[in-house]
A and B are shown apart, each in its own frame.
Chain A
Amino acid sequence: MTLALYVPRRSLVHRIPAGGKLLALAALAVLLFAVPALPVTGAALLAVLAVGLGAARLPAATLARQARTVRWWLAGLFVFHALFSDLPTAALTVLRLLALVLAAAVVTATTRVTEMVAVIERLCAPLRVVGVRPARIGLVVSMALRFIPVLAERAERIREAQAARGGSARGLRGVRTTVTPLLVQLLQMAHTISEALDARGADDVPPARGRRSPAAA
C-alpha cells in the first residue's frame, strides 16, 4: 500500500523548505479572495502551472488527478453561475478554485511527508506553554502512519477468511460478527503497543530545555 502523493524530483521547488511553501500557499489563497479580478486569477493559475510543470517538473498527470476530483464541482459551478450570474463571475469562481487546488497539489507533490511532520512539530512548539510536547505529536503521527497498513491488511484477511467459508461480512450481521470484534482487537493492540512504548520510556518527561534524554533520542 503506497501512501504518499510525493513525486521525487531534483528541483528548486523541491528544495524550498516546507514551511516556506505552506506560507506561499496561504498567501496565494488570501490574494485570490482579496482581489476578485479575472486577470489576477488567470495569471495566478498560469504561474501555478509554470511552477508545477516547469520549475518542479511534475508530470501533468499528477496535477490532472487532483483537478479531476473537483471537475464536476467546477463544471456545475460554471453552469450555475453562467445561468444565474454572468460569464465573468462563472469564469472567476471556477479559475480561482482550480488555481488553489493545483497550488496545493504542487506543494503536496514537492514536499516529503517527513518534512511536513517536522513542520507540524515546529508549529506545535508554542503549545509547550500549555503542556503539549511536540515530540508526542510526532509520535502519534508516526503511530497512525504505521496503523493504516496494519488495519487495511487485517480487514482484508478477515474478508478473505469469510469468503473462503462462503459467507460475507456485509449488512448488520457483518457488523456484529466482524467489525466489532476487529475493533476490540485493535483497541487491545493499541493498548499493548502503548504499554510497550511506556516500558521503553515514551512517557518520560524530557529535560525542560534543549537536551534530550537517552530514552527519547
Chain B
Amino acid sequence: MKTRDLAYIALFAAVIAVLGTLPAVNIGPVPITAQTLGVMLAGSVLGARRGFLSVLLFLVLVAIGLPLLSSGTGGLAVFAGPTAGYLFSWPLAAFVTGWLTERFWARYNVAWGMVFNVVGGMVVVYLIGVPVLAAVANLSLGEAILSGALPFLPGDAAKAFIAAAIAAQVRRSYPVIERPQRAVATR
C-alpha cells in the first residue's frame, strides 16, 4: 500500500469524523446524522479496500477515546452499547459499496451509485446492526427492526442519493479509483 493510499484512508476517516461534528448538509426537517453518508462516500470514492480501511481507522480512533461519533461520544463504551452492531457493520458497508462501485466503474452514474450505496450502506448495515441490537437489548427481531431500521429508512435513502451525487462528480473531476496519476497531471 502506497503512502498516497494511506493519506486517502486517513482523509476519509477524518471526513467521517467531521461529518459527525458538523451537520453541514441539512435536507428536510429531519436532522440526518451524516456519518453513514461518510461511510458510503468512503466506499464510492476510494473503492473497496481503501474504503474499508478508512472506516476501520475511524472506528479505531473512536475506540481509543476520541469523541467523534455524532452524539459527541467515543471511547470503548460505544462498542458495548446497543448500537455497536451498526458501528461494526460500517467497514463492511464501505467495502461492499466500494466493491460494487469498482466493478461497474465504467458505467458509474448517480442512479447506479445510489443502488450501490443502498446495498452497501443500508442493507449491509441493517443486516448486522439489527440482530446485534436485538441481542444486546434483549429484543425480538421484529421489535429490533421496528426501532432500529424503519425510522432510518428515509434519511438513509437521502444520504445514499447525496453520496452518489458527490461520488459521480468526484469521479468526473478527480477519480481516485481509476488512473489517479492522469487526474493529477491535468489538475
List the interface of chain A (C-beta within 8 A of B). 3-6, 22, 25, 29, 66, 69-70, 73, 77, 80-81, 85, 89, 93, 97, 100-105, 107-109, 111, 113, 116-117, 120, 136, 139-141, 143-145, 147-148, 150-152, 155-156, 159, 169-172, 174-176, 179-180, 183-184, 186-191, 193-195, 197-198, 202-203
- CB of B61 within 8 A of CB of A141, answer yes
Give A111 to B170 CA distance when docked, in angstroms.
39
Chain A residue, CB-CB nearest to B5: A194
Task: Known contacts A143-B10, A147-B14, A183-B45; decide if A155 and B22 are in contact (CB<8 Å).
Answer: yes
Interface check B88, CB cutoff 8 A: no
Contact call B169/A108, Cβ cutoff below 8 A: no
In contact, B65 and A113 (Cβ under 8 angstroms): yes
Is B130's beta carbon under 8 Å from chain A? no
Residue of B nearest to A193 (CB): B7
Encode B27-47 as 1/0 by CB contact (under 8 A) with A: 100000000000001000100
For the complex, would chain B's binding face be called helix, strand, loop or mixed by DSSP majority? helix
CA distance A195 to B2 in the complex (A): 10
CA gap between A180 and B41 in the complex, in Å:
11
Whether A180 contacts B169 by the Cβ 8 Å rule is yes
Check if A116 sits within 8 Å of B65, measured CB to CB. yes
Chain A residues near B63 (CB, 8 Å)? 116
Question: Bound complex: CA of A150 vs CA of B14, how far in Å?
Answer: 9
Residue of B nearest to A133 (CB): B1
Q: Is the CB of A113 within 8 A of B66?
A: yes
Contact A104 B4, beta carbon cutoff 8 Å: no
Binding stretch for chain A, among B98-106, B115-123, B136-144, B149-157: B136-144
B174 beta carbon closer than 8 Å to chain A: yes
B2, B24, B65, B143: residue with the most chain A Cβ atoms closer than 10 Å:
B65
C-alpha gap A5/B3 in the complex (Å):
29
Which chain A positions have C-beta within 8 A of B41? 183
Q: Is B128 an interface residue (CB 8 A)?
A: no
Across the interface, which residues of B come within 8 angstroms of A172, CB to CB? 27, 162, 165
B138 touches which of A3, A93, A143, A145 (Cβ 8 Å): A93
Q: Which residues of B contact A (CB under 8 A)?
A: 1-4, 6-11, 13-15, 17-18, 21-22, 24-27, 41, 45, 57-58, 60-61, 63-68, 71-82, 136-139, 143, 162, 165-166, 169-170, 173-174, 176, 180, 184, 187
Q: With A73-B81, A93-B138, A141-B57 as given contacts, are A116 and B64 in contact (CB-CB < 8 Å)?
A: yes
Q: Is the CB of A171 within 8 A of B27?
A: yes
**Assembled-state Cα–Cα distance A171/B161 (Å):** 12
15 additional A-B pairs beyond A108-B64, A151-B18, A179-B24, beta carbons within 8 Å, are A69-B73, A73-B137, A77-B138, A103-B80, A105-B75, A108-B77, A109-B65, A113-B64, A140-B10, A141-B61, A152-B22, A156-B22, A180-B166, A187-B45, A191-B4
Given the complex, which residues of B lie within 8 Å of A159, measured CB to CB? 24
Nearest-CB distance from B47 to chain A (Å)? 13
Name the residue in A29, A101, A156 with the highest tally of chain B Cβ atoms < 10 Å from its Cβ.
Answer: A101
Q: Across the interface, do B82 and A170 meet the contact criterion of CB distance under 8 Å? A: no
